[in-house]
């Protein structure tokens, strides 16, 4: 939680989406929802009744047909002819959740059509992301005739040239930005290329489309391709791609499968994360519980553990694998905590700077990215975190919403050995003697973009919501907005003036519980401000008039459902 008071701002719809009170009312009547829900949809850029209707019930029938996605049919034809010719097929994936679910999806689907393929996921520490020549040579030696990449490959022109030289057919499926030169693969399927209906699919979404097309072409009875949407939802949510209309359809339907829990591996992950067997899994539970356990395999263990988990047909085996992943994740958390504490200490000595460069000789390179995110949350400054590996500094950077990190690294490139990424996140490598230069250049770059004194963070609020409006119907309506994600954040509401009836701190004063009364309608509610104990411990809260930025939640306590307000931020009115 932030140490600085954020500036609160009520969101307004874009001019195209804006509706007046009466229009909101009428639209609500037509869609059979409240005008508040219509208002929330206009804030999410929806302008007309049919888009709103599709948003509220995103059925699979609204997915574009397969021939609308360039390269997908060509890829399917090539893959099917390789299968017919008995060519050996290898899937090359990535060690994050998107890459792991994409690998599992392709293998699992093809196995359902009686096609066995081998897979390879590079080790994060030995090789890093993407293709490498040693691996390709080894696949060729194993008699592989077709290489299918998932969630990677678009940047590997050299490596794919080598694969072609060795006589492999190559199909790239990827969703990362292509460079100036495209690899000489037989087929490239990438939503960032021209002609795609959306650039936002995740790697696993692209793999799903290809398998959908293969499903139609292979001889024999087709499989039910919808069975694989659980994997699509996992990878898409974990990769934090915008949940535009197509991704929303894939994710919303995939989440239903995850709730059902037919895949033993996902069921075991839910169980070990403390969820009930038919728990309604949202994007939040994926982000906090399921994805970190899958990622832990790739960060500090062996990503194949996670692939095996997702492919397992045996609940007992799945349970054992999930337990292993859970242990790795616990280890990752400890390590993260240790690095975070050291990083915070360093950051506190740099608060005169608008951008932070933190480094150590011994931080785990699989974890520094998460720590960078935590540092940005806490200090509201762009941050680079570096660690030494094989005599070279390897780093991970995270940005604030208004800052273009990639642009900043471009202006530091004279001291960098390698870098890549986008606006919000990036990776970099540099020689140790360049560290001082990087610090200077980065400080310049940040100051140039943001000025010497970065503006306070802004907290965007969806609407004012008095406590009397928090009803069962509201919860049902808010459920329709799910799944939340980029472009569709969980709504945060502004309260009317409240008075604090009583309060207490708990868990070593880390968290704060409040009993609040809405002064405009007299309704009382219980609220919890997680991780905000420190900030309020010396303030006399009881009796004070405040406003809160909050999200209403239904929580279960002793088997009873009760309303609890999750407090984002508190504003004292006195
Ligand atoms: Mn990805």
Say how many Å lie between the CA of residue 202 and the centre of ligand 1: 5
Q: Could you list the pLDDT tens digit for every one of the 574 residues in the chain?
A: 445 678 999 999 999 999 999 999 999 999 999 999 999 999 999 999 999 999 999 999 999 999 999 999 999 999 999 999 999 999 999 999 999 999 999 999 999 999 999 999 998 877 878 999 999 999 999 999 999 999 999 999 999 999 999 999 999 999 998 888 999 999 999 999 999 999 999 999 999 999 999 999 999 999 999 999 999 999 999 998 999 999 999 999 999 999 999 999 999 999 999 999 988 899 999 999 999 999 999 888 899 999 999 999 999 999 999 999 999 999 999 999 999 999 999 999 998 888 999 999 999 988 999 999 999 988 989 999 999 988 999 999 999 988 999 999 999 999 999 888 778 888 899 999 999 999 999 999 999 998 877 677 889 999 999 999 999 999 999 999 999 988 899 999 999 999 999 999 999 999 999 999 999 999 999 999 998 998 999 999 999 999 999 999 998 777 788 999 999 999 999 8
How many angstroms separate the alpha carbon of residue 154 from the centre of ligand 1?
Answer: 12
Report how far ligand 1's centroid is from the alpha carbon of 434 (Å): 30
- The span from the CA of 564 to the CA of 307, in Å, is 37
* pLDDT value, residue 452: 73
Q: Which helix (H) or strand (E) holds 3?
A: none
Beta-bridge partners for 394: 387, 429
Closest CA to 301 of 332, 273, 334: 332
Give residue 274 CA to ligand 1 midpoint distance, Å.
27
Residue 529 · residue 567 · CB < 8 Å: yes
Q: What distance lies between CA 72 and its chain's CA centroid?
A: 25
Dihedrals phi, psi of 207, to nearest 5 degrees: -60, -40
Measured in Å, residue 208 CA sits from the centre of ligand 1 at 13
Closest CA to 104 of 318, 281, 371, 271: 318
Residues with CB under 5 A from ligand 1 (ion): 98, 151, 203, 239
Report the b/e string of 288-321 with b at 16+ CB within 10 A.
ebbbbbbbbbbbbbbbbbbbbbbbbeeeebbbeb
Q: How far is the CA of 98 from the centre of ligand 1 (A)?
A: 5
Segments in 44-165 forming alpha helices (H): 49-56, 72-84, 97-112, 133-141, 157-165
Q: How far apart are CA 225 and CA 20, in angstroms?
A: 43
Q: Which token pair is 218? A: 């292979």
Cα 131 to ligand 1 centroid, rounded to whole Å: 14
Q: Domains (ranges, CATH) in the chain?
A: 7-57+459-572 (2.40.50.460), 66-224 (3.90.1640.30), 350-450 (3.10.310.30)
φ, ψ of residue 432 to 5 degrees: the values are: -55, -35
Q: What angle do CA 231, 260, 38 make, to 5 degrees?
A: 85
> Ligand 1: distance of its center to the CA of 113 in Å?
25
- Provide the H-helix boundaries in 362-434: 368-379, 405-410
The rounded Å distance from CA 233 to ligand 1 centre is: 12
CA of 526 to the centre of ligand 1 (A): 40
Distance 228 CA to ligand 1 centre (A): 17
In whole angstroms, how far apart are CA 520 and each of 190, 238, 468, 498, 560?
Answer: 53, 41, 9, 8, 28
């Amino acid at each position: 939680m932030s140490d600085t008071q954020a500036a609160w701002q009520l969101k307004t719809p874009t001019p195209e989406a804006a509706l007046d009170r009466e229009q909101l009312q009428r639209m609500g009547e037509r869609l059979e929802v409240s005008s508040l829900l219509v208002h929330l949809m206009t804030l999410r850029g929806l302008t007309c009744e049919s888009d709103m209707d599709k948003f509220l019930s995103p059925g699979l029938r609204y997915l574009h047909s397969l021939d609308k996605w360039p390269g997908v049919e060509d890829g399917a034809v090539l893959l099917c002819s390789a299968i017919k010719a008995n060519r050996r097929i290898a899937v090359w994936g990535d060690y994050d959740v998107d890459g792991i679910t994409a690998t599992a999806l392709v293998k699992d689907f093809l196995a359902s059509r009686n096609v066995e393929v081998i897979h390879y996921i590079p080790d994060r520490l030995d090789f890093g992301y993407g293709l490498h020549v040693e691996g390709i040579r080894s696949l060729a030696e194993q008699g592989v005739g077709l290489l299918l990449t998932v969630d990677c490959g678009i940047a590997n022109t050299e490596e794919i040239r080598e694969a072609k030289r060795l006589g492999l057919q190559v199909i790239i499926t990827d969703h990362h930005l292509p460079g100036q030169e495209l690899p000489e693969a037989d087929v490239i399927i990438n939503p960032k290329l021209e002609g795609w209906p959306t650039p936002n699919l995740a790697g696993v979404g692209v793999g799903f489309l290809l398998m959908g097309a293969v499903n139609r072409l292979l001889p024999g009875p087709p499989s039910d391709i919808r069975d694989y949407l659980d994997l699509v939802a996992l990878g898409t949510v974990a990769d934090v791609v915008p949940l535009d209309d197509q991704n929303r359809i894939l994710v919303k339907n995939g989440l239903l499968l995850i709730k059902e829990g037919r895949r033993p591996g996902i069921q075991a992950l839910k169980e070990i994360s403390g969820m009930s067997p038919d728990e309604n899994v949202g994007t939040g539970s994926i982000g906090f519980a399921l994805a970190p356990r899958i990622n832990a395999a790739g960060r500090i263990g062996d990503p194949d553990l996670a692939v095996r988990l997702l492919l397992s047909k045996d609940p007992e085996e799945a349970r054992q694998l999930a337990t292993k992943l859970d242990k790795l994740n616990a280890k990752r958390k400890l390590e993260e905590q240790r690095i975070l504490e050291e990083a915070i200490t360093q950051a506190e000595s740099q608060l005169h700077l608008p951008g932070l460069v933190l480094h150590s000789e011994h931080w785990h390179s699989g974890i520094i990215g998460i720590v960078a995110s935590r540092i940005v949350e806490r200090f509201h400054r762009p941050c680079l975190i570096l660690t030494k590996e094989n005599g070279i500094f390897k780093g991970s950077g995270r940005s604030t919403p208004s800052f273009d990190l990639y642009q900043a690294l471009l202006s530091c490139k004279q001291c960098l050995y390698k870098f890549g990424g986008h606006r919000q996140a990036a990776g970099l490598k540099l020689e140790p003697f360049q560290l001082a230069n990087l610090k200077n250049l980065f400080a310049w770059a940040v100051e140039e973009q943001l000025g010497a004194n970065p503006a306070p963070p802004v907290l965007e609020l969806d609407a004012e919501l008095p406590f009397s409006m928090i009803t069962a119907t509201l919860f049902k309506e808010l459920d329709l907005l799910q799944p939340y994600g980029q472009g569709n954040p969980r709504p945060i509401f502004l309260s009317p003036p409240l008075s604090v009836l009583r309060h207490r701190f708990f868990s070593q004063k880390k968290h704060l519980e409040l009993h609040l009364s809405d002064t405009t309608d007299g309704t009382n509610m219980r609220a919890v401000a997680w991780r905000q104990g420190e900030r309020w411990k010396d303030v006399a809260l009881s009796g004070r008039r405040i406003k809160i930025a909050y999200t209403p939640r239904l929580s279960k306590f002793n088997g009873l459902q009760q309303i609890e307000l999750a407090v984002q931020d508190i504003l004292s009115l006195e």
